[in-house]
Structure 1
């Protein structure tokens, strides 16, 4: 069982929207969740990437990081956006 719980409150949602998280592209993209937002005892990654204009990428697990590496090596990929929010409405 997880030691900490992460809950999305209405206040956090409003703040993330105000900060324009999950929007933009390239160096101007800001991920919806950042490593510092989620309490974790596991491994997380922050990596600078040439394909995103040297923007710091935020990965919350090793699996996300490995998926990023696959996209990074693919020459047809021009932009990578991690922690992208899905529209559920």
Structure 2
């Protein structure tokens, strides 16, 4: 798959999760980080998108421990939540 096509597919999957909260969190993470991802990081995100939104969100906000396969720098970046744009 061409890298641009892969990014478009990941963008759509990240922004169309089923709930507004998941769209904002997972889509916001994609928007903030995807441009710099290596192929390995894209594969990590692709695998993450196969997980349930409630699990991803629990891992991100720290109410559940992510599985070892998702541990590392990318999960740490997801957990920072500094990529979310919230109106104040």
Quick check: which one's helix share is greater?
2
Q: TM-score, normalised by structure 2?
A: 0.28
Higher strand share: 1
